[in-house]
Structure formats: C-alpha cells, structure tokens
Amino acid sequence: MGIGGIGANTKRRAEIPSYRIQSPPLLHHPPLSPPHFSTTVYKTILLAASIGLIYIFLGQSEYSPLQFPITPSVKANFSPERESEASLIHILKSDDKQEKELDLILERASMKDRKTVIITAVNAAWTEPSSIFDLFLESLKIGNETQKYLENLVVVALDREAYHRCVSLHLHCFALTTESVDFSGEAEFMSGDYLKMMWRRIDFLRSVLEKSYSFIFSDADILWMRDPFSRLYGDSDIQIACDLYVFNSSTNRHNIPNGGFVYVKSNHRTIKFYKYWYSKRVDFPGKHDQEVFNEIKLDSFVNETGVDIRFLDTAYFGGFCESSDYLDDVVTMHANCCTRLKSKIHDLKILIEDWKNYKMGRGDKKWTLPRQCVINKDRLDRMRAFVRRGY
C-alpha cells in the first residue's frame, strides 16, 4: 500500500512544505513581437515557460537536488500520518533551514520531564537490512523498560542511503551530510573518512547541547538490555562508558573511556568541554575522538571548566573489550574491540539470542563469548597492567 492511497509504483514525490523553498523571482524582459506569432500564442508560450520554471524551483522535478528522493519501497512503509511527518523533515537544505529542522526533531523526540534525547548515528553500511541498525532497534524493543526510548531516539543519517532506510523504520531521522565526503560505505577503522565521521559527530553533539538538550549518545553497535538511567549518576555532567574500567572508581580519570556510550547534561560546562574537545583534534592529527578525549581528560582547562566526568562500570555498561559477566547485571553491551562490520553483526546476533533465552529462563546467565570478533585478552591484560603502573 502506498502513501495516502497512492500505489507503490507511483512516481509522486513527498510534498515539500511551502515555507521551505521560495521561488526566486522570474526574470521579465520587454515583450517581443515576432512577426510569425500572434499576441495570444506568444503569451501562452510565456505562461507555460513561467509555470515550468516555478515547478523546477519548487523542487518538484523527479531528481531535484533540493530533496532526498523517497523511493516507492520506502514510501510503502509509511502510514499517512508518517507521510505528514516526513514532509516536514529530512530535506537537504541550507544551514539555516537545517537548523530549524533539527530544532523540530529535538522538540518532538525529547523526554518532556528532563529535556533529553537519545541519539545514534548510522551510515548506509550500518543500515543495510539485518545489519547493525536493525539489531540496535531490536534490542530496544526486547530490553527491559527500553521500548519507551524509541520515542526519544533521534537517528542521525550520515548519507542518503542511510536516511532512506531510517525513514522506512523510524520516526525521528535527521540528515547530516558533510560536503565532499562520502560516509556511505564501511569506513575502515582509523581511515581518513572514519576520522572525519567521528569528528563530525562530536561537532553535531556540541550543537545539541547548545540548544539546551541533554542526551545519551549510543553507537548503533550497542545492545540496550535495561534502562540505562537506572545506573547513571544523578549529579554528574558527563558519564562515559569504558573500554577498560581499571580502577574500580567512577571518578578516576585514568580509566580508559569509550565514546560509544555517553550521557551528557546540557550546561555551560559541558558546552565548553565539547568545544575544547573538538578544537583539540588539530593538536592530535590522525587520532579519533575517543583517543583525544583520553589525552585531554586531565588537562588544566578541563579542570578549570568545573565539568564533572564519571566513568561507567563495565559490569553494567560492558563490551567485547571488557564484558559484563552476568546477564542479571548488564545494561548495555557494545561490540567494541572489533573493527569488522561482518564480525560485529555475527556476534551481536548471538548476544540477542542469549538475551532472549535469558528472558525466557533458558540457558546460562552468562554471555556467549565473541566468535568472529577476535579479542586479544593477553593484550588487554597488558594494557591494564600498563595503565596501573603508569598511574
């Protein structure tokens, strides 16, 4: 079934609201009087040409660069109500109109009692059917007390393909593109495109804070099993997950952070920190956001901001690097310490089955160890020992 009763094979595009794109004034030239055309014929030609120009400027042509084309397969997944929602958002536009779009999405997705949103970011490779994005959404649907957060989830699509896939599955999707950069493929870990994608994300999150919204940012390769707010600290500005939770203390800044899961309250301290964090990419070329966070966490400037940073215990916010051992405790599980997309998908699917069996009272209360994500435990043990000796 197509949108609003329109068949799935129709060529009709999603309607663009009139306030988004204004037609430029048509050029008027002194009237010509060709000897072979009557005045009536000439006026008819001018009228037809004018209508054609207006049609083009309004972005209604099939391949208009002013909008992401909505394919019939994507449209088929919308209800009429979803079509109305889609017509208000998700259109590539000027920075000013993109800001208005973001404001609208954040307002609709925000938790009304705490002005907080959940944010994830995906590209085309991660939104393929049965890929990372599908597993992420499934975990929210089957987790304990996590289904409600689907209403608060803002999915940042880094390319057109990811956007198309997002709007077919979810309500709040925001198109965040970067000029001259293609984020659609599987970005090789630490490649130039990977680093640009990570830093684009940090700058975007800074803009969310400046709009007075707090957020949980979660990588899409994280499974949500329980409500994370039940394990977060109420009095902290920034709470970040860890690759290695070495010192058994949430306030010890020598823990090794992982930026894939972070809760940030919007205030002047966190805004200053995110601006500083983003600016320091220049001082650490070739390093991604997580590495730079680790470099600056003890800086005097960070201390001067007064920002309070807490590190989340991997017993609850675990991952492949350092897993939450027991399903009775786990809040989230991250496919970290694993760089291949195919391996992440394979092992996250196993964890989904572990969780389903646990909820049904079957099987062990422990996770299945990763099978395709090769975790070098000896190397991690050496890292822990090195960190302890160094501090």
User: What is the dihedral sign for C-alpha 368, 373, 379, 384?
Assistant: negative
Q: Which two tokens stand for residue 389?
A: 């000796």
Give the pLDDT confidence score for residue 94 in this predicted structure: 52
Give the pLDDT confidence score for residue 133 in this predicted structure: 98
The CATH T-level fold of domain 72-310 is Spore Coat Polysaccharide Biosynthesis Protein SpsA; Chain A (3.90.550)
Give the pLDDT confidence score for residue 281 in this predicted structure: 93
Nearest to 125 by CA among 334, 340, 287, 289: 340
Give the pLDDT confidence score for residue 387 in this predicted structure: 78
- Could you give the CA distance from residue 217 to residue 211 in angstroms, rounded to a whole number? 16
Please name every residue paired with 256 in a beta bridge, in sequence order, or none if there are none.
Answer: 244
- Full 3-state SS string of the chain: CCHHHCCCCCCCCCCCCCCCCCCCCCCCCCCCCCCCCCHHHHHHHHHHHHHHHHHHHCCCCCCCCCCCCCCHHHHCCCCHHHHHHHHHCCCCCCHHHHHHHHHHHHHHHCECCCCEEEEEEECCHHHCCCCHHHHHHHHHHHCECCHHHHHHEEEEECCHHHHHHHHHHCCCEEECCCCCCCCCCCCCCCCHHHHHHHHHHHHHHHHHHHCCCEEEEECCCEEECECHHHHCCCCCCEEEEEEECCCCCCCCCCCEEEEEEEEECCCHHHHHHHHHHHHHHHCCCCCCHHHHHHHHCCCHHHHHHCCCEEECCCCCEEECCCCCCECCCCCEEECCCCCCHHHHHHHHHHHHHHHHHHHCCCCCCECCCCCCCCCCHHHHHHHHHHHHHHC
Q: Are 207 and 102 in contact (CB under 8 A)?
A: yes
The domains of the chain are located at 3-57, 72-310, 317-390
Give the pLDDT confidence score for residue 391 in this predicted structure: 61
Q: What is the pLDDT along the chain (391 residues), one digit of tens a residue?
A: 433 333 333 333 333 333 333 333 434 444 444 444 455 544 444 444 443 433 333 333 332 222 333 333 333 343 434 433 443 334 344 578 889 999 999 999 999 889 999 999 999 999 999 999 999 999 999 999 999 999 999 999 999 999 999 999 999 999 987 665 554 555 454 456 778 878 889 999 999 999 999 999 999 999 999 999 999 999 999 999 999 998 899 999 999 999 999 999 999 999 999 999 999 999 998 888 999 999 999 999 999 999 999 999 999 999 999 987 789 999 999 999 998 999 999 999 999 999 999 999 987 888 898 999 988 777 788 778 877 776 6
Residue 148 gets the label, from left (phi > 0), alpha (psi -120 to 50) or beta, of: alpha
Give the pLDDT confidence score for residue 389 in this predicted structure: 72
Q: What is the pTM of this model?
A: 0.74
Taking the CB of residue 258, how many other CB atoms lie within 10 A of it?
A: 28
